[in-house]
């Protein structure tokens, strides 16, 4: 499968340019752009939006293939109206999936991961163009031509989906980076840092066994999160504080310090959080929270 990485490498420059353009567009849109980004990343859902939309698109094009196969084998009957509806849904969900995919892609690490994400996206854009043309040809009564265009689109879409699977399962693309390491459990409050080493409103590293933490003191309250960002593993102790939130230095995900909930993406999964307190000169943590 290393061959896939080789095929994707020539797209390195293009991937970087696309990510830069997407970033600039979102920055230009300001706060509404931030909300749109959260929607398309899936930060509101706690689940990837791209995955939902690709499921819809793949389901629709598969249904279209079945309807077309039935019509070719057994005669058109009255399936044409259903075929057009399904094709229209496929086109809409595929374009929406492309928008969500571009939103994920802009915060992807450079190298093979982004190259493969770029190749995956380009193939699916071409596939969606085929389906879009097929839709307009089909409503113009060019059913035979539309079927051929849709069949080409299906082969392309299936190839793109295969590469998308490779991206997720090999690289853990848009997968919770704390999924396999939830953090050490502390049934009772356990000391992790001397309180004297914890300045006001400054993220500080601490460890609970082998689990890295970021600890923050604001007035009388102490917060503790796992130090590895759920989006792609960025170092939260290097993040910036704003009120009761911390912003990851890599792609700007914002988490509530209280319980690790996602305020803004690209992260979709709540950050692992512990209860924290100061007791007898020590910062102590207990958890993680369920
Ligand atoms: S690693 Fe991407 S936002 Fe933290």
Sign of the torsion angle spanned by Cα atoms 85, 90, 95, 97 = positive
Q: According to the 3-state scheme, what is the secondary structure of 106-137?
A: CCCCCCHHHHHHHHHHHHHHHHHHHHHHHHHH
Q: For residue 212, what are the β-bridge partners?
A: 207
Does the pTM surpass 0.95? The reply is no
Per-residue confidence at 211, pLDDT binned at 50, 70, 90?
very high
What confidence score (pLDDT) does residue 105 get?
A: 96
Rounded-to-integer distance, Cα 134 and Cα 87, Å = 8
Lowest mean pLDDT among 18-22, 77-81, 240-244: 77-81
Q: Mean pLDDT score of the chain, rounded to an integer?
A: 94
DSSP 8-state code for residue 28: H
Contact between residue 155 and residue 180 where contact means Cβ atoms under 8 Å apart: no
Best substitution site from 23, 178, 231 to test ligand 1's pocket, by max atoms within 8 Å of Cβ?
Answer: 231
The answer, yes or no, to whether residue 192 has pLDDT greater than 70, is: yes
1-12 average pLDDT score: 86
**Ligand 1 atom with least separation from CA of 251:** 3
CB 271 within 8 A of CB 265: no
248 CA to middle of ligand 1, Å?
6
Q: Report residue 79: phi and psi, to 5°.
A: -90, -10
| H-assigned helices in 42-180 | 49-74, 80-105, 112-139, 143-171
Q: Indicate the pLDDT class of residue 4, thresholds 50, 70 and 90.
A: confident
Q: Please give the distance, rounded to the nearest whole angstrom, from the Cα atom of residue 224 to the centre of ligand 1.
A: 18
Average pLDDT over residues 253-260: 96
Closest residue by Cα to residue 143 from 91, 76, 73: 76
CATH code of 186-287, in short, is 2.102.10.10
User: What's the rounded mean pLDDT across residues 20-26?
Assistant: 95
Distance of CA 238 to the CA centre of its chain: 22
What is the atom index within ligand 1 of the atom nearest the CA of 253? Answer: 3
Q: Look at 64-78, 148-162, 208-222, 244-258 and tell me which has the smallest mean pLDDT.
A: 64-78
Predicted confidence at residue 76, as pLDDT, reads 65
Nearest to 160 by CA among 50, 68, 268: 50
Whether the pLDDT of residue 1 is over 60: the answer is no
**Minimum mean pLDDT range among 22-31, 118-127, 167-176:** 167-176
Mean predicted confidence (pLDDT) in 196-219? 95
In testing the pocket of ligand 1, which one of 203, 235, 236, 251 has its CB within 8 Å of the most ligand atoms? 251
User: What value does the mean pLDDT take over residues 52-78?
Assistant: 91
Establish whether residue 234 lines the binding site of ligand 1, counting it when its CB lies within 6 angstroms of any ligand atom: yes
Instruction: Report pLDDT for 109.
Output: 85
pLDDT value for 92 = 98
232 Cβ inside 6 Å of ligand 1: yes
Residues 92-144: pLDDT tens digits? 999 999 999 999 999 998 899 999 999 999 999 999 999 999 999 999 988 99
Nearest CA residue ID for atom 2, ligand 1: 251
Structure tokens at 11: 């797209």
Tell me what the mean pLDDT of segment 247-258 comes to.
96
What is the average pLDDT across 51-69? 95
Cα separation, 279 vs 103, in Å, equals 44
Residue 75: band (very low, low, confident or very high) from pLDDT cuts 50, 70, 90: confident
Contacts of 255 (CB under 8 A, 6+ apart): 225, 236, 245, 246, 248, 261, 262, 263, 267, 270, 271
Best of 113, 172, 203, 229 to mutate for ligand 1, by most ligand atoms within 8 A of CB? 229
229 CA to centre of ligand 1 in angstroms: 6
Closest ligand 1 atom number to CA of residue 252? 3
The ranges assigned to domains in the chain are: 2-171, 186-287
Output the CA 265–ligand 1 centroid distance in Å. 8
């Amino acid at each position: 499968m290393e061959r896939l990485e080789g095929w994707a490498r020539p797209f390195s420059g293009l991937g970087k340019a696309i990510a830069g353009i997407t970033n600039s567009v979102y920055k230009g849109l300001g706060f509404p752009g931030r909300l749109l980004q959260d929607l398309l990343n899936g930060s509101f859902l706690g689940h990837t939006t791209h995955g939902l939309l690709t499921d819809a698109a793949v389901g629709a094009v598969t249904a279209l293939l079945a309807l077309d196969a039935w019509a070719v084998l057994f005669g058109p009957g009255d399936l044409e109206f259903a075929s057009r509806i399904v094709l229209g849904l496929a086109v809409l969900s595929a374009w929406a999936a492309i928008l969500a995919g571009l939103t994920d892609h802009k915060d992807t690490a450079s190298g093979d991961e982004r190259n493969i994400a770029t190749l995956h996206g380009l193939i699916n854009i071409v596939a969606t163009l085929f389906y879009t043309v097929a839709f307009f040809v089909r409503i113009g009564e060019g059913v035979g031509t539309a079927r051929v265009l849709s069949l080409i689109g299906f082969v392309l879409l299936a190839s793109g989906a295969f590469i998308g699977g490779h991206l997720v399962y090999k690289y853990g693309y848009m997968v919770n980076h704390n999924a396999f390491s939830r953090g050490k459990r502390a049934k009772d409050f356990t000391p992790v840092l001397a309180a004297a080493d914890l300045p006001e409103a400054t993220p500080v590293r601490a460890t609970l066994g082998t689990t890295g933490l970021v600890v923050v003191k604001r007035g009388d309250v102490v917060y503790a999160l796992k130090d590895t960002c759920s989006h792609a593993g960025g170092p939260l102790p290097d993040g910036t504080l704003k009120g009761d939130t911390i912003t990851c230095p890599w792609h700007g995900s914002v988490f509530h310090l209280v319980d690790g909930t996602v305020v803004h993406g690209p992260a979709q999964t709540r950050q692992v959080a512990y209860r924290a307190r100061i007791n007898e000169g020590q910062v102590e943590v207990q958890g993680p929270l369920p």
